[in-house]
Amino acid sequence: MRKIQSFVKRSGRLTASQEKGLTELWDDYAIEPQGVLDFAKIFGNNNDVALEIGFGNGDTLVAMAQENPELNYVGIEVYEAGIGRLINSAYIKQLSNLKVMRGDAVEFLNDNIADNSLARFQLFFPDPWHKKKHHKRRIVQQDFLSLLTKKLKIGSICHMATDWQDYAQQMMEMLEANKNFKNTQSAHTYTPRPEFRPLSKFEKRGNKLGHGVWDLIFTNR
């Protein structure tokens, strides 16, 4: 059976700084998974780990890592330009609490991330696959949530955001239907945009055009 991909690999020309992130700085910031990861060894401390899938150009993830040095951040992305940009930015800001993994997040969750090892999960503006026939490609499905809940510690935060209303509704339905997640708001209620989630250029542009954004923050139980 053909595996359904929830992402598209984008290709394009890299800037000099992006290329530097993927070559000269790669060994300092990239995680090359071989078996189950030991985050304490990777980061050199026992701080909680936050995982973000699909960080795009990386600007908001870098900002969060800079503002929360007590947390270790791991970002997973397939977009090479974004990975290179994030690594170069992390180097400029001398961040020691941010690492990157390149590839399929579902494979990493299955093969390389230990159960009960994550304190926070972030999924901001994933590909909405807006055509109805493509909704099966959306990453937020019950099988993904069942995998994710095993990797999260009890009481951990699961934070998602999207600017597609029908995807927000699907996220809400999926999360509330899963017995392992509990809405931090009342039932069927989205979370007001939290100040700790940095605004991306993409979101700022959408705000000017009047586009809505829906945040969902659940805890793992």
Res. 1 pLDDT band, cuts 50 70 90: very low
38-70 pLDDT, tens digit each:
999 999 999 999 999 999 999 999 999 999 999
Strands (E), 78-195: 98-102, 118-124, 152-162, 181-183
pTM for the full model?
0.92
Architecture in CATH for domain 17-220: 3-Layer(aba) Sandwich (3.40)
Asked if residues 218 and 174 have their Cβ atoms less than 8 Å apart, the reply is no
The sign of the dihedral angle between the CA atoms of 55, 58, 64, 68 is positive
Res. 20 pLDDT band, cuts 50 70 90: very high
Q: How many helices (H) and strands (E) are present in the chain, helices listed first?
A: 9, 7
- Per-residue burial over 21-56, b = 16 or more CB atoms within 10 Å of its CB, e = otherwise: bbeebbeebebeeeeebebeeebeeebbbbbbbbbb
Catalytic residue among 27, 59, 111, 127: 127
Q: Which residue type, as a one-letter code, is found at position 221?
A: R
85-100 pLDDT, tens digit each:
999 999 999 999 999 9
Taking CA atoms, 155 is separated from 28, 106, 165, 175, 184, in Å, by 31, 22, 27, 15, 11
d(C-alpha 61, C-alpha 93), whole Å = 13
127 catalytic, yes or no?
yes
